[in-house]
A and B are shown apart, each in its own frame.
Chain A
Amino acid sequence: MPIPITRLTLPNGLVLHLKEIHDAPLVSHWVWYRVGSRNEVPGRTGISHWVEHMQFKGTPDFPAGILDKAISRTGGMWNAFTYLDWTTYFETMPADTIDLGLRLEADRMTASIYDPDEVEHERTVVISEREGDENEPLFRLGEAVQSASFDRHPYRSEVIGSQADLHHITRDELYQHYRTYYQPGNAVVAVAGDFDTEAMIMRLRELYEKVPGEFTERLSLPPEPPLESERRVIVEGPGETTFLQLAFRSPAASDPDFFAMTVLDSLLTGPTSLNMFGGGGVSNRTSRLYRTLVEGELAVSVHGGLPATIDPFTYDITITVRPDKTADQVLAAVEKEIYLLQNTPVAEAEVARAIKQARALFAYGSENITNQGFWLGYAEMFASYAWFENYLQQLEAVTPADVQRVAQTRFTPNSRVTGIYLPTGNEEESHS
């Protein structure tokens, strides 16, 4: 029997989602803001993620550094994530200590300091985070493919931002970004776990009702026109391994095609889990591309990714090519599989299987209170909570004809960005 959810909106626009679960003496508390790289302009890429870092740098009531210790002392954990459409903060703590998490999030919605010294200090930390990413061939390839996939839409930039922008963004720009988007009307507070709903609502009202509701506008961006022809990007770098990444424009999460696309992804590259915390996944050894590419000895691995986003983003297929094969040989085999999906209806059983997999993944994710808290707010950031509630039903409604139609309309060669990481070989590795 599904556990009921309590939902309400405070006068200042803040949305609350609560779900009592008494299996373990834990509470997971999340605050979601509708701001991410989608809200960034050229010259300030990476600003949303950097703001997220600054949100850990203190307020007058909770100076920098004390919260890490205060939360660790309870045995709880906290963290934050910035993505294309959203930024989120969470604390999962023993139930009798969660009030600290509630207080600190309400406090830093408005009271973060953005001390200039802390800003400079965090500039080096964020640049260091980016430099760590740049060590990875797949990050470099992914960044190039993403930027080739859009001409105008802010989705063209990596969430971490460009090196150049990270060197130039100012303290005042960061603060301005923070004050613009960290508003009750732009946020969702989600709480799951071992608490009493009435008492929790009363406490959240106390903490948040005094915050004035200033933000109303939701950013609406003009749609990016479809690509007119295939784009190819080549990234050269060290190593011996060739990687191939294909990106097709994906449907927005709120587009009915998103669910057919989810089934398509499952058939092609294996099921993707919505669980951000725990639960694990299901392997993809029987997916069509694994069979063709890996069992066919063209590649050593293949993965697909279909993020749920406000605007159309990309559906990516990432392939590690075998050393004795070329990217073009792999590409030809992928095209053959796509042709097959476009021209032959899939079996009902294949669709049913994708649904059973999704159901199992939900069951695994439900064991974990942090994941339960995550689910409560996540879908609000790109669609609505109903999106999440209806997820399995929507999948069940997908027909083989839908899958075929989506394959035909979404996987046209002209709409594809093809990225290849070409290894330049290993220069003699040296020890000193």
Chain B
Amino acid sequence: MSPNIHWKSLPGPQDIHRSELSNGITLLCRRNGASPSVVISGYLIAGSQFDPPEKAGLAYLTSLMLMRGTQKHSFQQIFDALESAGASLGFGASVHNVSFSGRSLAEDLPLLLDLTAECLFTPTFPLDQLERLRAQMMTGFAMREQDTEEMASMRFEEILFPDHPYGRAEDGYTETVRPLTQAELITFHQTHYGPKGMVIVVVGSIEPQQVAAMVEERFGTWQNPHQTAAAPFPPIHSLTTSTREHIAITGKIQSDLVMGCLGPHRKSPDYLAASLGNNILGQFGMMGRIGDVVREQAGLAYSASTSLNAWIAAGSWEVSAGVNPVNLDKAIDLIIVELRRFTSEQVTAEELADSQANYIGRLPLSLESNGGVAGALLNLERFQLGLDYYQRYPTLIQAVTRAEVLEAARRWLDADRLAIVSAGPARE
């Protein structure tokens, strides 16, 4: 543990102000006096999990339309206020949540809060703006069809999570977004936007008590008796055998590869061991063991790395690489050899110690900016980790053993039950 890191200076119960507004919205604030600016972020439970499959993209489109006009202001007026102040604000949807984030100079925090509340409570979904946004999304889909990386990972998720919200693109598809109507957006907003489960985070050059009053004034009276709770997700099963798919996209030079398995959810007891293992496998140094074999030794790719994505209900553990089409099979073989090794023998004591040191040492760097702290506070709340989590973190990390890393690897990674997807030039 680095002796120079003052653990008490990391966000903790002593300086995270957590409170509830009168309608139940959770507010987290932390002051950062060194910065002249302020960041707000947060979420509400209105993500694509509520989209019927044939209307995939509804939650996403609804969230993007929030700033396109309200009962008080037009799209241009909203952005004129923001951009004139050098401020920014945006909404977007993921599977579980609609999230928002914004930043401004500290003096403009009231503006940021006013606009956030206004866009959330009183959007009007104007028709002309809806058509404009739809056209933008359609172009986005056409560009996605041409993007080897996006096509490979989209298909990978479909295979891993069949008939499940995690397996569908949050922003939808050409055929599902095209028929969405204004009435459907209005209904979605009325049914799913509400204070229940909502979280707001404010970090920066602010006084938490003042912020609490400002936020209560704007958000505390919001009610929605129609807000529906999320339904439980369908069960998820590991693959019973490996599948291999290639998506041919003409005119491409390089192929993108995504392969992997299910992974633990964020609150799983396996999570930290799997996360440290993932760091050893495909992140530490120059992309870990996989980077070492595929890039450094074989020179097959500019990038080859792994990621562990842990969400609320499940996760994925994946390897991705961009390779020349003639080297695709060779890269897959090399990766499979590494996965077998990773699930058959313990990582070395040195490897684990290295990754533990990395996790602990990088905390101050990830928490230096207002945006970094805001993201960290959101995670505390989203996964119910406790306000003292970052202060307990070094101990939690140090406690993970080599045996636990192997156990987690074996539980989740299986070189014989992989989803393997590539996208690029047609295969010969």
Q: Which residues of A are interface residues toward B (Cβ below 8 A)?
A: 23-26, 65, 68-69, 71-77, 92, 94-97, 120-129, 131-132, 134-135, 137, 237-241, 270-271, 278-286, 291, 294-295, 297, 300-301, 320, 322-324, 353, 356-361, 363-364, 366-369, 424, 426-427, 429-432
Contacts and interface: CB of A to CB of B under 8 A. Distances in A.
Interface string B116-158: 0000000000000000100110111011011110000000000
Contact of B324 (A75, A123, A128): A128
Contact of A24 (B82, B284, B368, B370): B368
Interface stretch (B257-265, B293-301, B311-319, B376-384): B293-301
Contacts of B245: 431-432
B247 interface: yes
A72 B284 CA distance: 6
Contacts of A294: 132, 136
A295 B76 contact: yes
Nearest to A361: B86
Interface string B266-290: 0000000000000000001110000
B302 interface: yes
Majority SS of interface residues in chain B? mixed
29 contacts: A26-B368, A69-B285, A72-B358, A75-B364, A94-B4, A94-B364, A96-B4, A97-B361, A122-B299, A124-B300, A125-B301, A128-B299, A135-B147, A239-B145, A241-B142, A241-B143, A283-B79, A286-B83, A297-B135, A300-B135, A300-B136, A323-B138, A323-B139, A324-B135, A357-B83, A359-B86, A367-B369, A430-B248, A430-B426
Interface size class of B (residues with CB under 8 A): 35 or more
A175 to B, nearest CB: 19
Contacts of A122: 299
Contacts of A95: 4
Interface of B: 2-6, 32, 34-37, 75-76, 79-80, 82-88, 90, 103-105, 132, 135-136, 138-140, 142-143, 145-148, 245-254, 284-286, 292, 295-296, 299-303, 322-324, 354, 357-365, 367-371, 424, 426-427
Contacts of A357: 83, 86
B85 A76 contact: no
Given A129-B302, A432-B246, A238 B146 contact: yes
Contacts of B4: 25, 94-96
Contacts of B136: 294, 300-301
B84 A356 contact: yes
Nearest to B149: A135
Contact of B252 (A135, A353, A358): A135
A369 B367 CA distance: 11
A24 B373 CA distance: 13
Nearest to B366: A75
